[in-house]
Amino acid sequence: MEKPQNGEEKEETTASFCGYDSLHRLLKDNLNPHHFQEVSRLLTGLNCGKALEAVSLPESATSLSAEHGFDIQAFSFCADKELLREPRIVRVGLIQNSIVLPTTAHFADQKKAIFEKLKPIIEAAGSSGVNVLCLQEAWMMPFAFCTREKRWCEFAEPVDGESTKFLQSFALKYNMVIVSPILERDINHGEVIWNTAVVIGNHGNIIGKHRKNHIPRVGDFNESTYYMEGNTGHPVFETAFGKIAINICYGRHHPLNWLAFGLNGAEIVFNPSATVGELSEPMWPIEARNAAIANSYFVASINRVGTETFPNQFTSGDGKPAHADFGHFYPAIGTAC
């Protein structure tokens, strides 16, 4: 994840929680250790009776983080030890990033800059032994669906396109499954556009894809201008490290969506998102955890970070003045259960 603003800077305009990069950080900095532990116990629960444990990361990863200015954190979640089976340890990685160039830059340059930015972050995940890595929703472009302008469709790619090829080499190099949420262009069916997560196997193979099945028509999320409800059902993908599913962003508000992935056998459900604080931040800590508790699987949720502005004014159809700023994508930390 990119290095967030910290509490000392009190950057209320860009950070999510009164100048802190997370609620967790705000509480930790302001409560005494006992109160912090008790509040954490109530907010996030305990992990087999203990507070969440940080995992130490290899120097190869921390040096990349220092050199390229991104934040990297790792925690372990354990289940009760069984007597007859060895534990199956799976390392899950999540990447949240802002875009690099202004949205007015040439589209090819914007995409290339995102690729360049992600390279060391993916390397850090790979060298930390991550088994399954998930990127954020439509990671290869700005989240331009507020604008309703057609030209952003140019970012769309076939499932085996540029972004998949870029990630396949990392999957192979690090023996790592990668979930890659992209804007898809279905070149075999009239170039229909979808919001799709491509699942790349640990041998660099394409295991399959899932298309977002609940499309928001709320606030600035005018996504149905671009793509409609996906036609892939609720697939669960068998990977070398477990059975995974992807519930893309807005799908997290729909309990039956989570249930269907569970009934189909998912052990980990990823929730790559792009959402802003004003709309969904209060729901964020509840939805993924509730899904995990109710369906007996792990949930790994991520959002974008940063603020994206667009060259032309757009409206939400809510009677408010036109604007060019999508709002701040809040960092989502520690929502796996």
Ligand X SMILES: NC(=O)NCCC(=O)O
Judging by DSSP bridges, how do beta strands 192-200 and 206-211 pair with one another? antiparallel
Minimum distance between the CB of residue 158 and ligand X, rounded to whole angstroms? 21
Determine contact, residues 126/174, Cβ cutoff 8 Å: yes
Out of 134, 146, 249, 337, the active site residue is 249
Minimum distance between the CB of residue 223 and ligand X, rounded to whole angstroms? 6
Minimum distance between the CB of residue 251 and ligand X, rounded to whole angstroms? 8
Of the pair 21, 137, the CB lying nearest ligand X is at: 137
Residues that bind ligand X (CB under 6 A): 137, 216, 221, 249-250, 253, 274-275, 279-280
Of the pair 90, 197, the CB lying nearest ligand X is at: 197
Judging by DSSP bridges, how do beta strands 242-246 and 268-272 pair with one another? parallel
Place of tokens 């289940």: 79
CA distance 5 to 99: 16
User: How many residues are there in the chain?
Assistant: 337
DSSP 6-36: PGGG--TTTSSBTTBS-HHHHHHHHS-HHHH
Minimum distance between the CB of residue 46 and ligand X, rounded to whole angstroms? 28
- Taking Cα atoms as reference points, which of 264, 210, 207, 209 lies closest to residue 239? 207
Q: Residue 204 region, left (φ>0) first, then alpha (ψ -120 to 50), else beta?
A: left
Minimum distance between the CB of residue 275 and ligand X, rounded to whole angstroms? 3
Q: Is 212 a catalytic residue?
A: yes
Out of 111, 117, 134, 137, the active site residue is 137
Q: Which amino acid is at 173?
A: K
Of the pair 186, 223, the CB lying nearest ligand X is at: 223
Q: Is 249 a catalytic residue?
A: yes
For residue 333 the two structure tokens come to 């930390």
Of the pair 23, 274, the CB lying nearest ligand X is at: 274
Determine contact, residues 298/267, Cβ cutoff 8 Å: yes
DSSP code, position 251 = G
CA distance 278 to 82: 43
CA distance 184 to 152: 12
DSSP 125-153: HHHTT-SEEEPPTTTTS--GGGS--GGGG
Of the pair 47, 225, the CB lying nearest ligand X is at: 225
Minimum distance between the CB of residue 286 and ligand X, rounded to whole angstroms? 12
Out of 212, 223, 308, 337, the active site residue is 212
Of the pair 153, 279, the CB lying nearest ligand X is at: 279
Q: Is 137 a catalytic residue?
A: yes
Catalytic positions, written as ranges: 137, 212, 249
